[in-house]
Chain A
């Protein structure tokens, strides 16, 4: 079999993001990441939300599902649980995921299904022309806001860890090579992965721009972004970790997840291997789950007759 390359994941469709949009970097990283994992395109399903980021799935040659606003996670969960052999990736924006989709985000964390959720964070609603999203800090005023942001922001990394996501990372749209590695680790992680990608919106977010992330306004002109892995940070919670260790890890995580401003960490924040996946939990209740998952379990014989045998249940219900 010839080796899969990023080209296999490209499509002919014209891409209608604004020139200079950070989404291009994320898209390129995603195509490279999937190819690098040697996955065949048909083995991958990408679920997009509503908004600019939700269009990313059209630009990847794989099964693409453009869902409803905020509902990416349940759609993806259904597909993954029904066919656990599918590689399921979710792409969505900060408005989609942290506002209308916040309830699903929290509850997805409680399940730990083996999904990879990539959140494109540009702090604004682009496609509806620049309103503040739930990740824009209080008091900031991007150019399309008539007044400074009156609502506070959610820290999505913190929300992810309290909800139960077992892999949490952050990348930057213009650090494509680094992002490819993060995506691959997120996809390979058995369990629910959350990858936040900082993504400058060149049209509506005039505050957190590419130059701002590069630290051009800082005295030393040093990039705001630094790599966790180069800073000696260890994100791993091993299987069977003690509660003390988990508590210590969460403290370290919290300290890093709060950093914002002149120094912003990117990299892997958490890799928790101590929590069973939802698929494993189902497998305990349904021993044949992996072998015959809902998408593939035979339900009829050659004549189309149902193969379900209800005679045992009927015997319980039979009165005689």
Chain B
């Protein structure tokens, strides 16, 4: 942060496998521990080692809800990161780079794709600069950016000597050194960094010790080689440090599931969903408030078909059961989804959307599955689709999904995306005591034993909900089947029973629409009465909130209607807002405007403007703001595509 800006955008980039993620977590912890709020965004290729990845950490003394396009302090490993991001660094900002990358021809950077290279070469040609990192660094200096060459090898050699360890061992601290150089330039107290290391490597005193020594050398290096007074940005810790959680979206969902009583989770590895299940498996055993040990069984299955059907099988026994996947996996799960629908199985599917169709872009974000998810499956059956706009919502929604699944005896799909899954953020501590577990209508067996004769599991009721016994319960014997069935679950093709069953299942959604509280259907932000109405869903929320703040600074009032319940669609309560909307702007991360279509189909109201982004990257507040400003000023086409070639 400096006197002009209320926040700092730090970016670390380098080849995948070089520890970008670790560096970002250390930096994030080092600033969060000092009481800052932060918002982190992670971008990476579908690759194990070598391809370019980067991590943005935006820091402020107020809550942050999205990333920024521009960078204040860039730290890079290797020349590709330098090439890709140098031009995003603002005037007064800084670039930290490896001394070896100071003059690398762009043509020698193997993973810099032809399009990006051509763009950069054109940029350099306009400025009469050579096609190399030296050209980009020179351009940065001309724009008022400080450049800091760091000879990492010299520092790690010094560290090896100091600790009497092999150079290869000392080299493992390169990430810490990079972070420490950033922190030193920002004049951040190194003790926060040391605390961050203790959080990052718990129970590994030797690793911590070595890294602490590395920090000392890095700070020393910065102080002796750079004039930090030249650097505009600094981190001044909060006066009062409030404890906050620092976590990412996958963790928020996993913790919400645990709080919600998850006892059985299945998954087949798929980006970007896997981390949630891995995190759950790491926490298979946990304490409970009544002293009994808590646990969750996590099973890695052979495919997504198995994941969804195994989770269904577990749900039939009374376990709170879930699976997590991404679009391609969900495609495979669809037959199992239909089975859960006709059998009224309370099953939770967490779906992290990524760039699609088919394999698409496995590690990039998109909101391309909305229409698929609300309609997935052959035939008609009820399902509930929830979507969360930030990490806090993701936590509570993950817990609530089980309540909906059991209360309405339907599959519940919790629809998220890669952007949210990989968002790291400081959030206010979650209030677990506010979570209630509602198991819906359960069948209680008669005292004294095993009633003879089948139990009407699928009894026709006014609400559509039939009391549910668990497999293994005395007195509850019934059948389940993917075929249409009578009340005890025996296959039937009787036209009258068919109608009754279709209608009974459909009634559950009417009940859900009546019972689900309004703020779980949608939330309104900004100026509630402003006609300038933005409608969106999922992870775009943060960028739109920031855009609304920017509009406010321009004395433009706008409101955001954030849809949280995508199915059944809360059309009745939305109608008054839609009626008073002028203009009505729908914002989403896909090509066709899937929410806009749903809105029109369900309410008859069409969007006046559609703002979309489908390059696989999340929206920033800045780009949404610019698009909204143009709309407000009447200078916009009805369809606006957000683009950023440097992401």
Contacts and interface: CB of A to CB of B under 8 A. Distances in A.
Interface stretch (A62-70, A135-143, A198-206): A62-70
Given A300-B437, A304-B438, A319-B32, A309 B263 contact: no
Contacts of A301: 289-290
Given A42-B476, A66-B491, A320-B33, A313 B255 contact: yes
B450 A78 contact: no
A42 B297 contact: no
A78 B336 contact: no
Nearest to A104: B306
B289 to A, nearest CB: 5
A319 B36 CA distance: 10
B259 A310 contact: yes
Contact of B472 (A81, A86, A287, A299): A86
A166 to B, nearest CB: 18
Contacts of B367: none
A310 B490 CA distance: 43
A299 B313 contact: no
B199 A319 contact: yes
B310 A65 contact: no
Interface in A40-82: 40-43, 45, 47, 50, 57-58, 61-68, 71, 73-82
A66 B285 CA distance: 33
Interface in A90-145: 103-104, 106-107
Given A65-B480, A86-B471, A310-B286, A299 B437 contact: yes
A304 B297 contact: no
Nearest to B36: A319
A304 B436 contact: yes
B101 interface: no
Interface residues of B, number: 89
Interface stretch (A153-161, A241-249, A257-265, A289-297): A289-297
Interface in B238-282: 241-247, 251, 255, 258-261, 263-264, 266
Given A82-B264, A304-B437, A320-B241, A77 B471 contact: no
Which of A86, A104, A294, A308 gathers most chain B CB within 10 Å? A308
Given A68-B339, A74-B306, A306 B284 contact: no
Contact of A295 (B314, B432, B476): B314
Contacts of B645: none
A305 B320 CA distance: 15
A286 B290 contact: no
Contacts of B290: 298, 301, 307
A74 B347 CA distance: 15
Nearest to A103: B302
Contacts of B552: none
B294 A82 contact: no
B301 interface: yes
B287 interface: yes
A312 interface: yes
A82 B319 contact: yes
A40 B450 contact: yes
Contacts of B251: 317
B289 A42 contact: no
B400 to A, nearest CB: 11
B472 A312 contact: no
Interface in B65-86: none
Contacts of B472: 42-43, 45, 63, 83, 85-86, 295
B426 interface: yes
Interface string B471-482: 111111111111
A288 interface: yes
B244 A307 contact: no
A285 interface: yes
Which of B284, B297, B435, B491 gathers most chain A CB within 10 Å? B297
Given A42-B475, A58-B490, 17 more contacts: A42-B473, A57-B479, A63-B472, A65-B313, A68-B336, A82-B264, A82-B317, A82-B319, A286-B295, A288-B295, A289-B297, A295-B317, A295-B319, A299-B263, A317-B247, A319-B32, A320-B35
Interface of B: 29, 32-33, 35, 199, 202, 241-247, 251, 255, 258-261, 263-264, 266, 283-290, 292-297, 299, 301-303, 305-307, 309-321, 335-336, 339, 399, 426, 429-430, 432-433, 435-439, 450, 454, 470-483, 489-491
Interface of A: 11, 13, 40-43, 45, 47, 50, 57-58, 61-68, 71, 73-83, 85-86, 103-104, 106-107, 282, 285-289, 292-301, 303-310, 312-314, 316-320
User: Nearest 3 pairs between A and B by C-beta?
Assistant: A78-B313, A299-B261, A319-B32
30 contacts: A41-B450, A42-B474, A47-B313, A61-B454, A63-B477, A63-B478, A64-B479, A71-B306, A74-B307, A76-B313, A77-B299, A79-B316, A82-B264, A82-B317, A83-B319, A294-B263, A294-B264, A295-B318, A295-B470, A299-B437, A305-B289, A305-B435, A307-B292, A307-B294, A308-B294, A309-B286, A310-B259, A310-B430, A312-B287, A318-B246
